[in-house]
Amino acid sequence: VYGFEAARAVVEQWFSVPASGSLESGFYDGNTRSQRILEALGFEKEGEGPRFARALSQQVPGSDMVLTRARWQARQGFRLVTRRLTIRPFRKDDAPALVRMAVPEVARNMSRIPPVWSEAGAVAFIAESAFRGVPGFRLAIEFDGACIGGLGLGGGPVGIAYFLAPEYWGRGLATEAMSAFLPSIFDRFPLSSLEADHFEDNPVSGAILRKFGFEETGRQLGTSKARLEPAPVITYAVTRETLKVQP
Ligand SMILES: CC(C)(COP(=O)(O)OP(=O)(O)OC[C@H]1O[C@@H](n2cnc3c(N)ncnc32)[C@H](O)[C@@H]1OP(=O)(O)O)[C@@H](O)C(=O)NCCC(=O)NCCS
């Protein structure tokens, strides 16, 4: 157990540096203890061949192992806990809550949420939201044990989106969720900046973005499943350096 704990600490330290890429390791044939530790940490076999064993002063057959950042992150999952909220992967049983949330006031401010959602549509949304260790996922926002909204990271350039069920608006919950989520993005992924946008007629979202240091970058037309026509959207960006962390 000590060997595993020590190895995990080293791996965590390695990936805590955003610029660190894949981590390489290996073991000598027959060293099943070492093999088991590496496999438990998520390392995968990359190749095999003789390696120089300093203790024996000779080449000894062994295996080369690699742990990519994406694989490590996928195995960490994604869970954040704030004063009132838990941010965690969506589960299948969140579908009914999503169906209830898909009302026009929410949907018209999002691109992907329809104004009326079927249970099957919500289940498909949950499936495509899965966290796989790289940008391109959505997470549930949980309050008092109930799924009350969602947030996501994806697209190219990479951007964020978020929504809450209307009965939870106006209590600072989106700000609280973003206070945890935004810094965690820059901690986990080697991104230099993040994008966001909101429809011009949805100033609340702009107020939230500006609190975190997002600055306006332009205007364009955006679409929503709950709008008949494309509508004006204000685009924003924040960088790793300009992100304002809220207390
Ligand atoms: C956007 C949304 C997540 C905000 O959630 P929320 O929990 O009510 O937000 P918060 O309470 O944390 O913060 C809202 C901020 O907007 C401000 N605000 C409220 N009404 C406003 C208005 N009409 N104009 C400008 N700012 C306004 C509030 O004062 C607050 O700022 P403050 O904390 O500095 O006072 C929620 O309204 C929502 O889900 N809307 C539908 C989906 C959506 O718009 N998502 C964003 C897509 S880009």
In a shared domain, residues 139 and 159: yes
In a shared domain, residues 20 and 93: no
Q: Does 172 contact ligand 1 (Cβ within 6 A)?
A: yes
Q: Does 169 contact ligand 1 (Cβ within 6 A)?
A: yes
- Domain finish residue from 72, 106, 128: 72
- What is the b/e burial string over 116-150, where b = at least 16 CB atoms within 10 angstroms of the residue's CB? ebeeebbbebbeebebebbbbbbbbbbbeeebbbb
In a shared domain, residues 61 and 107: no
245 located within any domain? no
Q: Does 205 contact ligand 1 (Cβ within 6 A)?
A: yes
pLDDT value for 104: 95
50 located within any domain? yes
112 located within any domain? yes
In a shared domain, residues 128 and 146: yes
In a shared domain, residues 64 and 94: no
218 located within any domain? yes
Hey, whose CA ends up nearest to atom 1 of ligand 1? 205
Tell me how far the alpha carbon of residue 174 lies from the centroid of ligand 1, in angstroms: 7
Q: Are 140 and 88 in contact (CB under 8 A)?
A: yes
In a shared domain, residues 107 and 170: yes
Q: Does 116 contact ligand 1 (Cβ within 6 A)?
A: no
Q: Are 44 and 66 in contact (CB under 8 A)?
A: yes
pLDDT value for 154: 96
Distance CA 138, CA 88 (A): 9
In a shared domain, residues 27 and 47: yes
Q: Does 107 contact ligand 1 (Cβ within 6 A)?
A: no
In a shared domain, residues 123 and 185: yes
**Phi then psi for 53, rounded to 5 degrees?**
-100, 110
In a shared domain, residues 86 and 37: no
Count of domains forming the chain: 2
16 located within any domain? yes
Distance CA 186, CA 180 (A): 11
Tell me how far the alpha carbon of residue 145 lies from the centroid of ligand 1, in angstroms: 22
Tell me how far the alpha carbon of residue 130 lies from the centroid of ligand 1, in angstroms: 26
- Domain finish residue from 72, 99, 124: 72
In a shared domain, residues 131 and 53: no
pLDDT value for 136: 95
Determine the structural domain holding residue 13 and report its residue range.
2-72
162 located within any domain? yes
- Nearest to 15, CA basis, from 73, 92, 59, 74: 73
229 located within any domain? yes
In a shared domain, residues 19 and 118: no
CATH of the domain at 157: 3.40.630.30
- Domain finish residue from 72, 98, 123: 72
- Nearest to 94, CA basis, from 121, 118, 126: 126
Q: Does 161 contact ligand 1 (Cβ within 6 A)?
A: yes
Pocket test residue of 164, 178, 204 for ligand 1, highest count of atoms within 8 A of CB = 204
171 located within any domain? yes
DSSP label of 134 = S
Write out the chain's pLDDT in tens, 247 residues: 678 889 989 999 998 888 889 999 999 999 999 999 999 899 999 999 898 888 889 999 999 999 998 888 877 889 999 999 999 999 999 999 999 999 999 999 999 999 999 999 999 999 999 998 889 999 999 999 999 999 999 999 999 999 999 999 999 999 999 999 999 999 888 899 999 999 999 999 999 999 999 999 999 999 999 999 999 999 999 999 999 987 7
Q: Are 27 and 38 in contact (CB under 8 A)?
A: yes
In a shared domain, residues 112 and 216: yes
